[in-house]
Amino acid sequence: MTTMKLASARHPLLLPLILLAALLCACSTNVTVNGDYPSALTRKQPLRVGLVLDDQFSHYQFESDKDQTQPVTMALGESQVKLFSRVFTDMFQSSNTYSSLAAGNNQVDLLVVPQVEEVQLATPLETQLNVYEVWLKYNLKVYDSKGQPIADWLMSAYGKTQSRALKSDSEALNQATVSALRDAGARLVIGFERVPEIRQWLAERQSQSRLSQREAP
């Protein structure tokens, strides 16, 4: 207390500044997204896939515009790594994680590099409802084992707060984001084989393996 009195006597603006900073912090929402994602009920593709999760993806943090009345900071990286790793393990015969894209990887059939293209957020102040809405847009770059590009798949996901009687803003935002990530997982499982370029690559691979089986003595 004595120290505080001394400090405020020396710097008269210090105390009001601390109070102002504390008030500003109280208005903003900071969330580290934390969710559990279930195992996907899907047939494993007979493919060895390398999932490239670079530093930018693993530590992705969304920050809303600073001039917004309700600024939001959302650490998404850890949770999206958890989701993608889980879904890829369920989708493919084998799935390994890499931190960077290395050309000429003979241990995999496909390399998938997810990137966060865009994150959009609607806060309760904007929606006039007691819910958050989250839109996630990913760009999944798919390469073959030689590093040749196969597809650029733009995949979007949506989620919103389900219960309107949540305790806090951060809990509501976390629920909306986990729901959007869950939707992203669903899109991955159902949509991956439907991407025309990937479908074509899979068909070519299948016909090649049939041909080599016929040619084998």
Partner 1 sequence: MRQGLLCAMLILPLLSACSTSTHIDEFRMSSKQLDLNGGEKVVVMGRRHAGEYETEPDFIDCIGGKLAGGGQVPVVPEQQFLDSFYPWFEPRTAPLGLRRMGKMLEDPLIAERLQQVGIRYMIWVDGNTETTEKNGAVSCAIGPGGGGCFGFATWDKASNYEAIIWDLKKLDEKGRVKVDTKGSSYLLAVGAPIPFIAQVQGEACEGIGKRLQGFFAAGTSSP
> In which region does residue 101 sit, left (phi positive, over 0), alpha (psi from -120 to 50) or beta (all else)?
beta
Instruction: Provide the mask over 21-60, with x wherever binding to partner 1 is found by CB under 8 A and - wherever it is not.
Output: ----------------xxxxxxx-----------------
User: In this complex, which beta carbon is closest to partner 1, that of residue 30 or of residue 89?
Assistant: 89
- Verify binding: residue 158, partner 1, rule CB under 8 A: yes
User: In this complex, which beta carbon is closest to partner 1, that of residue 130 or of residue 207?
Assistant: 130
Question: What does DSSP say about strands 149-160 and 29-32: parallel, antiparallel, or unpaired?
Answer: unpaired
Question: What does DSSP say about strands 110-122 and 45-52: parallel, antiparallel, or unpaired?
Answer: parallel
User: In this complex, which beta carbon is closest to partner 1, that of residue 26 or of residue 165?
Assistant: 165
Rounded CA-CA distance 54/114 in Å is 9
Q: 216: Cβ–Cβ under 8 A, 6 or more apart, which residues?
A: none
CB of 156 to partner 1, least distance (A): 11
Structural contact between residues 145 and 201, judged by C-beta atoms closer than 8 angstroms: no
- Verify binding: residue 189, partner 1, rule CB under 8 A: yes
Number of residues that bind partner 1 (CB under 8 A): 19
What are the distances in angstroms from CA 54 to CA 16, 45, 59?
42, 24, 9
Q: Which of 29, 160, 198, 202 binds partner 1 (CB under 8 A)?
A: 160
- Verify binding: residue 163, partner 1, rule CB under 8 A: yes
CB of 171 to partner 1, least distance (A): 14
- Verify binding: residue 109, partner 1, rule CB under 8 A: no
CB of 189 to partner 1, least distance (A): 5
User: In this complex, which beta carbon is closest to partner 1, that of residue 109 or of residue 183?
Assistant: 183
What are the distances in angstroms from CA 26 to CA 23, 54, 56, 74, 86?
5, 33, 28, 15, 35
CB of 159 to partner 1, least distance (A): 9
Q: Which of 154, 186, 203, 211 binds partner 1 (CB under 8 A)?
A: 186
Contacts from 102-106 at CB under 8 Å and sequence distance 24+?
102/147, 103/146, 103/147, 104/145, 104/146, 104/147, 105/50, 105/145, 105/147, 106/145
Which residues would be at the binding site for partner 1 (CB under 8 A)? 37-43, 158, 160, 162-165, 182-183, 185-186, 189-190
